[in-house]
Amino acid sequence: MKARLASVTRPKTLAMGVAVAISLAFGAAAAAAAAAAATDYPAVTYERLTSAQSDPGWLTYYRTYNGQAHSQLKQIDTANVSGLKQVWSYKFPANLKQGFEATPIINGRFMFVTTPKDNVYAFDAVTGKQLWKYEPNLGAESFKTACCDVVNRGVALYGKNVYVAMLSGDVVALDAQTGAVVWKKQMFEPGLGYAFSLAPLALDGALVVGSSGGEYGARGFIAALSPDNGSVLWKRFTVPAAGEKYADTWPKGMQDHGGAPAWLTGTYDAASKTLYWGVGNPGPWLADLRPDDNLYSDSLLALDPKTGDLKWHYQYTRHDTWDYDGVNTPVLATIKYKDKDYDAIIHADRNGFFHAIDRTTGKLIYATPFVTASSVTGYSADGAPIQDESKYPKAGTTIETCPSFLGGKNWWSVSYDPERHLAFVPSLHACMSLSGKSVNYMEGLPYLGEGFEIKPEPGSKGYGELQAIDVNTGKKVWSHWTKLPWNGGVATTAGGLAFSGSLDGHLYAFDEATGKVLWQSPKLASGIIAQPSVFEVDGKEYVAILTGYGGANPIWGGPMAKAAEKVPVGGTLYVFALNHA
């Protein structure tokens, strides 16, 4: 493999000549400010991460370990949000035309974002000044087995470092102040089936990542690395090997290429010391080739974060043939269902059901459909999915079902407001036909065994819906429909606001209680498929969002891609605040 050199770039400073003479006072002040910023980078400790709910920044992918994507900030509220104005923006290089899916991560005045192809940028969160950028300059082999665009969803912070997991299989630690590489660990060779697209999760002395590659038969795994040097602390495969428990839920010999990737960031309960992580689809797609339940595909795993040992599992979809990955965020919530209190996981699954699961035992509390669902039709009293056998294609046959393989909700982050007991769910209304085909595993090539065609959901008002769900009942409280898919994640605040963006190029602020649109941004440079973040610096509250249409929809969306074909591409970072001229 040809070696490629990464580059770290920091803005040039005035050094000599007439410019220095003219700007001496300004240059001295700027140098002093830069030096102060460099020494003031606040270390991100495990203690800060466990109390991130009270932190003014956005320290981790979902803001807090519990996955709620909810901020206690309330300077911007339902009464004044109409006054939100742009503070600054940054346009990324024009050659980056793929999807911008990262959540801006903020620690003090430092903001970190990633771009397609795994570049990392650092900015002053208040002024928008670029502090540094890291460009790994990945080779083409790193993009070969990235199924759904060459995306990256963001960084993790721990100590004085920034961590990024890359399509190439590398996990890299960067100095947060300079962008210099501290260490690099390669977890797999690129181009053979695996990739990383998720934001790592920093725990107490561990950095957790999960693999992509289900469409290529890459056997999924979750691993913890040392944040000090990248050494592997533990690694757990999501498909049991021969002789392990539940290996008999696979035909003999198929476990090695069983997929079940773990490609989205999990959540963590610091009180019980439990790591929750979702697992994706089995391979190949055509279930007729792999009888039985195929554990732990389409499941939620509760793990010991120190060892990776399994505490319990819950399988959302058994013997999946519809690509209903179970990776969507497992959000920690306290709910009251039928007069009984639960410490729960709430989860909007690709299969179209909104779940509440007892996070201590792994038992299902309830599951209610939030889009039209005809593959999985319900759940039994013991929590097992009830699935329509007529919706399984065989080689040479075609079925039609809902939702599509992109799911009733894909990876886009939900947000949960614990005071209002509402979950805000970006939902997708589409169905599909699936046609079975014979397939054999070949390393580095798609391993599907099915052809597909996406179709509109009969009777829906559009492809996109942002809906609020009462987690105590599983019932919808309000919804906001759009003709285009709603692929943007959600962030909520104590100010009663739900922020989310759409492919139409606007960031919206909704009244959490009613769903009324209280503010929308001017039309931005592209559509939104990322999650906003909300943060405060020096007593002032800000909202940040990346725009940049891409991801799965333009590749696999069929009529949804056609509907969005005029959405511009290219990435821009925007920051908004009140009282800004």
- The dihedral formed by the CA atoms of 89, 198, 297 and 379, expressed in degrees to the nearest 10: -40
- Residue 39 Cα distances to 29, 111, 444, 538, angstroms: 15, 16, 45, 17
**For 431-472, what is each residue's pLDDT tens digit?**
999 999 999 999 999 999 999 999 999 999 999 999 999 999
Residues 374-379: what's their mean pLDDT?
98
Query: Percent of the chain beyond pLDDT 90?
Result: 92
**For 478-489, what is each residue's pLDDT tens digit?**
999 999 999 999
Q: How far apart are CA 231 and CA 294, in angstroms?
A: 30
- Residue spans of the domains in the chain: they are 59-74+89-577
Main-chain phi, psi angles of 37, to 5 degrees: -60, -40
State the CATH architecture for 59-74+89-577: 8 Propeller (2.140)
Strands 70-71 and 490-493, bridge-based pairing: parallel
| Reported confidence tier of residue 22, pLDDT bands at 50, 70, 90 | very low
What is the reported pLDDT for 21?
31
Query: Which of 110, 159, 154, 115 has the alpha carbon at shortest distance from 137?
Result: 115
* 323 part of the active site: yes
What is the reported pLDDT for 526?
98
Does residue 402 have a pLDDT over 80? yes
Does residue 27 have a pLDDT over 90? no
Of residues 124, 170, 298, 323, which has the active-site annotation? 323
Does residue 384 have a pLDDT over 80? yes
Q: How far apart are CA 273 and CA 306, in angstroms?
A: 9
Q: Which two tokens stand for residue 320?
A: 């999946």
Strands (E), 284-408: 299-303, 310-315, 331-337, 340-348, 353-358, 364-369, 376-379, 385-387, 398-401
Query: What DSSP letter does each residue of 395-409 carry, written as one string?
Result: BT-EEEESS-TT-SS
pTM (two decimals)? 0.95
Radius of gyration of the chain (CA): 23
What is the reported pLDDT for 12?
53
